[in-house]
Amino acid sequence: MMKRQNIHEIIRQGVIVSCHADDGMRDEAIFAYFVQAAVAGGAVALRIEGAERVRNTRSQTELPIIGFAEGCYADGAMLITPTMDAIDALFAAGADAVAVDVTKRKRPDGTDGFIFFEQARKRFTGLLWADVANFREGIRAAEIGADFIATTLSGHTPGTATYDYRTPDYVLIRELSHSLTIPVIAEGRIWTPEAAVEALRAGAHAVVVGSAITRPRIITTTFVEALKEQAETHRG
């Protein structure tokens, strides 16, 4: 498992690729191909869901791995890394850091993300990566011991919901980067290299890109919808 400062330097101003299960990627051979492509393409780290996939990915690369586990809130929204056992399994599988939902939403066990994270910080010495949705959550996560703050959940919580899923939350990236001394990671709604560069200019330590690289169905849909919109404009 890598030390904190080593990962800081390895990922600085780089692209972290989030390889997440979606459609055909549930085939492990296809998932492995995406990992290999990300490594060959110059990714500085990988974000991987599930202990089994973390273990398989660990055998393929020495790049830093940020592991997380999928859970679910009562309303059906995705909960990132729901239990202490999940954190333990991810570290045991070879994750260098584990991402945890650190928002004020109530988890199924009745705790909010802050209480859960405080408990995790006391239990684990490994690197913990806080996925947050807004400025106050980012500041609080840093205060209670997060090693990294990521803007992953901006746009995905009741207080931050947005219909614009093509524009990163540059304001949040900038505010957190200028307020914290620990690395702030830009994640969420980054669809182009230009957007990634702009996130770095806003102060991000590194950038996570997922769907724009590893979800062919969504990428194809984006092109199809853009062409349909253009066609409708001409007809109008």
Q: What is the pLDDT of residues 138-171, one digit of tens each?
A: 999 999 999 999 999 999 999 999 888 889 999 9
- Per-residue pLDDT tens for 171-204? 999 999 999 999 999 999 999 999 999 999 999 9
Nearest-angstrom CA–CA distance, 137 and 175:
12
Mean pLDDT of 9-37: 84
Mean pLDDT of 60-84: 95
**pLDDT at residue 30, rounded to an integer:** 84
Q: DSSP H helical segments within the chain, as ranges?
A: 4-11, 28-41, 51-58, 84-93, 113-123, 135-143, 170-179, 193-201, 211-214, 216-235
Query: Is the pTM value of this prediction over 0.85?
Result: yes
Mean pLDDT of 227-231: 89
The torsion angle over the Cα atoms of residues 137, 130, 211 and 42, rounded to 10 degrees, is 130
Reading the block at residue 91, the tokens are 């570290």
DSSP element (H, E) containing 48: strand 45-49
213 band by pLDDT with thresholds 50, 70 and 90:
confident
User: Average per-residue pLDDT in the chain?
Assistant: 93
